[in-house]
Amino acid sequence: MRVWAHALIRMHLDDSWTFGFDNAKRRAGLCNYTNRRISLSRYLAARFSDDDNHQTLLHEVAHAVAGAAAGHGPEWKRIARDIGYVGGTTHHGETATELAPWVGTCPNGHTVYRHRRPTRASSCVTCARRFDPRFVFEWHRREITRADRLAAQAPRD
């Protein structure tokens, strides 16, 4: 992945750009214009297929080529398509509650998702605006399947 990323950056950008991994859990890739650095979440990259990681890289490289002002507008889209990106405008996994293993359920059946094991008792904000011991969440750890991961990374336009 690292080799492929460097090759991609060399092909489309100049020497000032670098590649690395970051620790994000909610978005798969990032284009940092300030540091001129494109990064992939090591957490999500390990769970996605090579093809999907390539797509995330293409999405971010297109951002780097298009410039920050382009956003996900027509210029970014044109560049992204040109370099082989086939996904949507959403950053993969950026709202992936599907990938959060901790599920909290309040006594009235409302559910919330967390990426880390909750350390303190919290109560349901739907049931009570302030902390209320009657509505504390009960936490369960669930298995995240490959199907869940694939569903979470499907582009949402």
Residues near Zn ion (CB under 5 A) are: 106, 108, 110, 124, 126-127
Contact of 19 with 6, CB cutoff 8 Å? yes
Contact of 103 with 85, CB cutoff 8 Å? no
CB of 145 to Zn ion, least distance (A): 26
If the CB atoms of residues 110 and 114 are measured against Zn ion, the closer one turns out to be 110
If the CB atoms of residues 95 and 108 are measured against Zn ion, the closer one turns out to be 108
Residue whose CB is nearest to Zn ion in the complex, by number: 124
If the CB atoms of residues 100 and 127 are measured against Zn ion, the closer one turns out to be 127
**CA–CA separation, 67 vs 105, rounded Å?**
43
CB of 58 to Zn ion, least distance (A): 11
CB of 12 to Zn ion, least distance (A): 15
Contact of 39 with 17, CB cutoff 8 Å? no
93: left (phi over 0), alpha (psi -120 to 50) or beta: left
